[in-house]
Amino acid sequence: MSDRIQIKGLALHAHHGVLPYEGKVGQSFTLDLTLDIDLSAAVRSDKVADTVSYDQVVAAATEAFKGARYKLIEAAAGKVADAIFAKFPKVRAIEVTIHKPHAPIAATFDDVAVTLIRKRNG
């Protein structure tokens, strides 16, 4: 099965980062979520109960991402993945990408991002 739900470009302001000023001022981050889920029942029924509610996924991801201050976006991505798995048992795997386009790097670049791919155990 290769069914997926994608949420791209979720823009959030948070205070993640290693440097002290990142914790004070914060910055914009963008999250991309790809959920592997069997959508065959939803295709047949046309009922939200047979899938996951996009707004509830966004709410869970936002709460996990903004619920604590992380030094590393790697840690923040892990918390988002854990929160999605905890709230949505139908999700079999998740890919979380966190973009940090204003990372404090002395170079010209478009984006810095971390992607975690996790599969549900069992």
Residue range 24-37, pLDDT digits in tens? 899 999 999 999 99
pLDDT of 33-62, one tens digit each? 999 999 999 999 999 999 999 999 999 999
pLDDT of 101-119, one tens digit each? 999 899 999 999 999 999 9
Please give the backbone phi and psi of residue 61, each rounded to the nearest 5 degrees, phi first: -65, -45
Is residue 70 scored above 90 in pLDDT? yes
What pLDDT shows up at residue 116?
98
Catalytic-role residue among 47, 79, 87, 100: 100
Is residue 1 scored above 60 in pLDDT? no
Q: Does the annotation count 119 as an active-site position?
A: no
Residues 6+ apart with CB under 8 A from 110: 101
**pTM: predicted TM-score of the whole model, two decimal places:** 0.93
- CATH code assigned to 4-119: 3.30.1130.10
